[in-house]
């Protein structure tokens, strides 16, 4: 079998166009504030891309860049000011944060109605309760990709490889809510390869370059590769050995150009949802 490539770039562009037309039809301009603390180069690239994509969709985007030695109290005060600002519909604090700041305290300080990352405990609770509100962007993007690829999920068996709060855990909750039988595997799982082989839908989000090999993939499985890893030679690779896995899978996402572009598209979608929910306009 040779897998169909799931074109995340194309799906993301379509979603961004939909978001832009929804923004154009609103009687107000949604606002997104992105907070970057410190000078991590990868975070700086992510934040710039989010800011640009938001502006392109007609969202009023602003980036607040704070120095690396910012105290937790100063960041909490910044978040409080954004919570109180009526022109701000979405707040995103880029992770990771410097060691002197506890990410959990900052996330918990964000108004849940403006939490476009979906990381606040209230929004996490709603997702796990089966009544999702604002949902983390990367797993939300994976659900969009699966839908666009025509994968019918109900009753299938999925394996989520990775248990992070940003991807693995919310991914498992979204799939469970979609009537999937979900296994969450991680670094302590015994016989990872055997667990993977049982999956009809395999979602890799461990951050280990090309860890998932071809013989870990069941014939006809759908493989979603969330990993983006830069190798010493500069190449970007996913968590799956794509060519090997594609020999078994029915469909697979490439890296780059798979899940990555969906994260930003879903952030824009979340921002408009938050804006409409806060300002009382129909969601469309």
CB 127 within 8 A of CB 118: yes
Nearer to ligand GUN, 200 or 239 (CB): 239
205 binds ligand GUN (CB under 6 A): no
- The Cα–Cα gap between 123 and 10 comes to 29
CB 190 within 8 A of CB 148: no
CB within 8 Å of 253: residues ≥ 6 apart = 5, 6, 8, 145, 223, 224, 225, 238, 259
Catalytic residue among 89, 94, 169, 269: 94
User: Taking the CB of residue 57, how many other CB atoms lie within 10 A of it?
Assistant: 27
Check residue 239 for interaction with ligand GUN (CB under 6 A). no
CB of 32 to ligand GUN, least distance (A): 12
E strands, 157-262, are 157-161, 181-185, 201-204, 222-225, 229-230, 236-237, 251-252
Count the helices and strands in the chain (H runs, E runs).
10, 11
Q: Which of 89, 115, 117, 269 is catalytic?
A: 117
Interaction between residue 165 and ligand GUN (CB under 6 A): no
Piece in contact with ligand GUN (CB under 6 A), picked from 16-24, 87-95, 196-204, 274-282: 87-95
Q: Please report how close the Cβ of residue 89 comes to ligand GUN at its closest, in angstroms.
A: 16
Which positions from 116 to 135 touch ligand GUN by CB under 6 A, shown as an x/- string?
-x------------------
Could you confirm whether 94 is annotated as catalytic? Answer: yes
Report if residue 92 touches ligand GUN, rule: CB under 6 A: yes
Tell me whether residue 50 is one of the annotated catalytic residues: yes
Among positions 167-186, residues that touch ligand GUN (CB under 6 A) are: none
Q: Which one, of 150, 153, 149, 173, lies nearest residue 163 by Cα?
A: 173
Of 64, 95, 151, 277, the one binding ligand GUN by CB under 6 A: 95
Is residue 137 within the footprint of ligand GUN (CB under 6 A)?
yes
Going from the C-alpha of 78 to that of each of 60, 91, 113, 120, 191, the distances in angstroms are 18, 11, 17, 17, 46
Residue 94, interface with ligand GUN (CB under 6 A)? Answer: yes
**Interface size with ligand GUN, residues (CB under 6 A):** 8
- The residues annotated with a catalytic role in the active site are 50, 94, 117
Q: Give contact residues for ligand GUN (rule: CB under 6 A).
A: 92-95, 117, 137-138, 166
């Amino acid at each position: 079998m040779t897998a169909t490539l799931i074109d995340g770039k194309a799906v993301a562009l379509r979603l961004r166009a939909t978001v832009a037309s929804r923004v154009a039809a609103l009687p107000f301009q949604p606002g997104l504030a992105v907070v970057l603390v410190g000078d991590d180069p990868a975070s700086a690239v992510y934040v710039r891309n989010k800011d640009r994509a938001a502006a392109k969709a007609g969202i009023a985007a602003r980036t607040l860049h704070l120095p690396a030695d910012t105290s937790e109290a100063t960041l909490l005060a910044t978040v409080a000011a954004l919570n109180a600002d009526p022109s701000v519909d979405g707040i995103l604090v880029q992770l990771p944060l410097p060691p002197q700041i506890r990410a959990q305290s900052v996330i918990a300080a964000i108004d849940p109605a403006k939490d476009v990352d979906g990381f606040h405990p209230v929004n996490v609770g709603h997702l796990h309760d089966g009544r999702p509100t604002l949902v983390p962007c990367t797993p939300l993007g994976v659900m969009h990709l699966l839908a666009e690829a025509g994968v019918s999920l109900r009753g299938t068996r999925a394996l989520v490889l990775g248990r992070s709060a940003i991807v693995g855990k919310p991914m498992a909750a979204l799939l469970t809510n979609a009537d999937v039988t979900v296994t969450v595997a991680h670094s302590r799982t015994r016989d990872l390869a055997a667990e993977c082989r049982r999956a009809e839908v395999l979602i890799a989000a461990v951050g280990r370059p090309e860890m998932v090999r071809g013989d870990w993939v069941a014939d006809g499985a759908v493989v979603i590769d969330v990993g983006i890893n830069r190798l010493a030679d500069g190449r970007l690779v996913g968590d799956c050995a794509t060519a090997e896995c594609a020999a078994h899978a029915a469909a697979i996402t490439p890296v780059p150009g798979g899940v990555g572009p969906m994260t930003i598209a879903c952030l824009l979608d979340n921002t408009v949802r938050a804006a409409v929910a806060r300002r009382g306009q129909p969601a469309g």
